[in-house]
Structure 1
Amino acid sequence: MSHTAHIRSHRKPRPRSASTLALRAGVAGGVLSTIAVAGSAGPANAEPVTETIEMPALTLESPALATAVALSAESTQQAALDAQLQTQENAAATKAAKAAKKAKDEAVRKAEAEKKAEEAARAEAQERASRSSERTTLSARSTSTPSGSVGTVISFLKAQLGDAYVMGATGPNAWDCSSLVQAAYRQVGVDLPRVSQDQSVAGTQVSLDNVQVGDILYWGGAGSAYHVGVYIGDGQYLDAANPSKGVVIQDLSGYPASGAVRVL
């Protein structure tokens, strides 16, 4: 016997397992699934028993799956639309709130401006009424107006009673001391200098004991006076006094003049 000859194994053939379960799933176009079950252990040459079960296939063409997918897509689309609508509503609400606040602020500003304008108009009306009353009172206190050129000067001065005092103003409703005196004498053709210093030396110097109606009174030195007025008689003079008084009639006893000049 050749050394390379096949020597039969002395092992006994191993018996097959008591049962064998084989699951074979095949999807061919999603149509069938097959389950094969082997029979009980037996002789090696026993024929297997095969049972074929047809199972429903789930494909995208399945009505149930298609409906579920459609519902899911519709739900997702609706959620997106709802979110977009909510965003638009929030933006519109914010814009409306800003517009309402702006309109309210504008209304408040307008109301405040109107209130201030009304208060200013009321104050101006009261001031005019006060000036008119003061002018009437001062006219009643004043002495009788002389005739001639002096009378013309005094009449002009009394017509300005109650006007405002404003430094540098030259009328017709506001004056400083020297512009009022200059304007009064211009009514009779006398052209006086513009400032107090020059007016205090514009005519003939007279003593305060001999002062007459129509003479110019000055305060300070002759040629360096800081204020002027016009004597109207009975120890009184008329002048554009200061911003708080305006054009008034005052008593010399309360504010004695430094000197006087006569130009008429």
Structure 2
Amino acid sequence: MAGAPQPQVKTVPGCPRHVAIIMDGNGRWATQRGRPRLFGHHAGARRVREIVESCPEIGVGYLTIFAFSTENWKRTQVEVAGLMNLFRRYIIKETKALRESGVCVRFIGDRLQLDDKLIHLMNELEAATENNNRVHLTIALNYGGRDEVARATKRLAADVAAGHLRPEEVDEETLPRYLDTHVLPDPDLVIRTSGEARISNFLLWQSAYSEYEFIDTLWPDFTRDEFTRLCEAYGGRERRFGGVLQ
């Protein structure tokens, strides 16, 4: 909010600039409590706000969250419909707060399978927050890493066919310009909650040199304190990018 006092910032030494999170465990969290899976997804959505709010306090400038994958369409129609409704409600409810708190929101993924109302809300949220820069929140919705690379490759091939790009100019620096994340830095740290130790088709190209943390905590139980602890642990890692530290 303009003119509002900013929270006291206690930047974590060596804090990752960009953190990506695979938010897993909502369904199991609900099942453990004898509730339907959608109850867990609603709890997980509330947790997103807390983690986004904590980013500027510890020095994270970019946060990318995996909300819905291209494979999640395989879930029951009831769960998929409930998730789509949750996404619409989340955008409507949170747009004002995100805009006023300086959060810039972007969506990545293939929007063609999403309904028109949701796409309209996504576009509105991006437009409403495009001038913010306190935190850059990227929401991966109907996203898959392989799908993203395939779509990027098609756009690159079209440019080659049209004569805008010569084949010999294509290298590992070229393709990222066609990815959904072309305006973002690569993630420094990728966190997956719920005890699963796999990347599930998330940011395949971008996370080639990311550090990973696989934790047992279910997403609805993931707190800002645990987030801060993981960012602090990242600061103690040695990142060599294939080289040798002198």
Q: What's the TM-score once normalised by structure 2's chain length?
A: 0.22
Larger RCO (CA under 8 A, 6+ residues apart) = 2
Q: Which has the higher helix share?
A: 2
Larger Rg belongs to: 1
